[in-house]
Structure 1
Amino acid sequence: MSALKPETRAWLDETGFAVRDEALWFAALTHGSMGEKQDYERLEFLGDRVLGLTIADWLYAQSEAPEGKLAQRLNAIVSRAMCAQVARGIGLPPHIRISKQASSDGGRDSDNILGDVIEALLGAQFLDNGFDASRELVHTLWRPALESGAGKAKHPKSALQEWAAGNQRRPPEYELIDRSGPDHAARFTVRVSVHKVGEAVGMASSKQEAEKEAAREFMEKYG
């Protein structure tokens, strides 16, 4: 049977994850590079839904905002970058089971991997302890993001789209100009341009985040 390291078991308990079936949690912390039968992917699929429903329910209860505003905040709070921020905040990186090669390539600090693993842990929490316990933990871990007002500001791509329309310009065009690094620690570079105005570049660990960074940079330069 898969056994967690004592320090990892203690960390899970201290963080609020109630461990009963160790095999679930062992899988939740295991990256595919380990080449083992069970890794975090299936649990991440489940945990993503647990997180999304919990945050959507919370936002609905706390705000009278219309659907569009609720969706804007939800997308920001459950984003890969926010999940990775929460993961770093609770000290997750050293507890990820990842190959030496993937780790040396920056896997332990990859937004994609950190986001996936913390969602996998939520999936394990759901299977081991039920939805109520999972929701309570999400409320605790994501409270700073909710209280900070994350997502209240307009998404950079939406802001740029509206700016272009308001200034009688063509819609912004996004182009992926570079992708580097291994899959688990990829870096994407995207260029956004508006005809007869200019262009800007953004870099991030996903194409979507790179587009957002490019749009934000464009607005800072020309908006």
Structure 2
Amino acid sequence: MKLSADLKALQKRIGHEFSRPELLVRAVTHSSMSSPTRDDNQRLEFLGDRVLGLVMAEALLAQDRKATEGQLAPRYNALVRKEACADVAKEIALGDALKLGRSEMMSGGRRKLALLGDAMEALIAAVYLDAGFEPAKQMVVRLWGDRVNRVEDDARDPKTSLQEWAQARGLKPPTYEIVSRSGPDHAPVFQIAARLDNGKTAEATDTSKRKAEQAAAKALLGQLQS
């Protein structure tokens, strides 16, 4: 199978040349482009999630040989969650190579966090099926870079930390409210307010509702701890 120029470029960015290029094509094919003769990447996504999990579990054990399971679990979650996969996908411009249906493309599919994260997992599975675990592991370790070393800073979810802060002081869990939504449907911008029942509040803006909530929680924590 002859690869298109964008897929050849993607191979160079990930450092793996496929001996079975059909796997790469499948990894970048969204369900909106699937057909009886064209498989999408959903099954690869399922496998890639497991390969990524094993790679990250091994990396964390090697990075901190004294960490307990309770310490390792949040670090692991921070490394394998969809946001982390999407961030890596953005760094390698995976969105540029995705095969999307017209409606998904028009709605900004190449920039959607969930879609990018799924495709990144599918790409990991494609390398695993093409060359085995070690090449897939090497690619993941290379692409995730220093995330493993700085994962302690990323492992504490601001929303979880804020909820724990509130509960420790006998307050109700924080609430999150959409203050405004702007921009076109394919690239919305959310302004979110995080509120506590003691009257404290903070706002943040992002193109992802979840990220805006996290940023608002982080801003509110900053106020409370200053």
- Would you say same fold, with TM above 0.5? yes
The verdict on how the C-alpha distance between 1:116 and 1:220 changes in structure 2, with shifts beyond 3 A counting, is: same
Match of 1:65, SS?
coil
Secondary structure in 2 aligned to 1:147? Answer: coil
Q: Does 1:93 align with 2:92?
A: no
Counterpart CA distance in 2 for 1:201 and 1:89 is 28
Give the counterpart letter for 2:60 in structure 1. Answer: L
Match in the other structure for 1:30? 29
Counterpart residue number, 2:3: 4
Shift of 1:169: 1.9
Q: Give the count of matched residue pairs.
A: 222
TM-aligned CA distance change 1:44 to 1:176, over 3 Å: farther
Equivalent in the alignment of 1:131: 133
Deviation at 1:10, TM superposition (A): 4.3
2: CA distance between counterparts of 1:93 and 1:189?
25
Residues in 1 aligned to 2:21 and 2:182: alpha-carbon distance in whole angstroms: 36
Please report how far the alpha carbon of residue 122 of structure 1 lies from its aligned counterpart in structure 2 after TM superposition: 0.3
Q: Are 1:62 and 2:93 counterparts?
A: no
> Are 1:80 and 1:115, in contact at CA under 8 Å, matched by a contact in 2?
yes
Q: Which of the numbers 192, 196, 199 marks the counterpart of 2:198?
A: 196
Cα distance in 2, alignment partners of residues 48 and 184 from structure 1: 27
The two structures have a TM-score, normalised by structure 2, of 0.80
After TM superposition, list the pairs within 5 Å mapping 1:105-116 onto structure 2: 105-116=107-118
Q: Structure 2: give runs of 5+ residues left out of the alignment.
A: none
Q: Is the 8 Å Cα contact of residues 6 and 96 (structure 2) preserved in structure 1?
A: no
TM-score normalised by length of structure 1: 0.81
Shift of 1:218: 2.6
Q: Look up the SS of the partner of 1:197 in the other structure.
A: coil
Contact 1:112–1:185 under 8 Å retained in 2: no
Tell me which amino acid in the other structure corresponds to 1:42: R
Give deviations 1:50-109, integer Å, cap 9, x for gaps: 111101111011102222221111111222222122112122221111234322322111
Residue deviations 1:175-199, cap 9 Å, x none?
A: 6899999999787776543223334
Range 204-213 or range 84-93, more displaced: 204-213
Separation (CA, whole Å) in 2 of partners of 1:124 and 1:183: 32
**1:9: how far off?**
2.5
Aligned to 1:48: 49
Give the unaligned 5+ runs of structure 1.
Answer: none
Instruction: Report the counterpart of residue 39 of structure 1 in structure 2.
Output: 40
When the two chains are superposed, the root-mean-square deviation of aligned CA atoms in Å is 3.1
The percentage of counterpart residues that share the same residue type is 38
Shift of 1:222: 3.9
Superposed CA offset, 1:26-68 (max 9, x none): 1101112224341111111111111111011110111022222
Alignment partners' CA distance in 1, 2:144 and 2:185: 27
Match of 2:167 in 1: 165
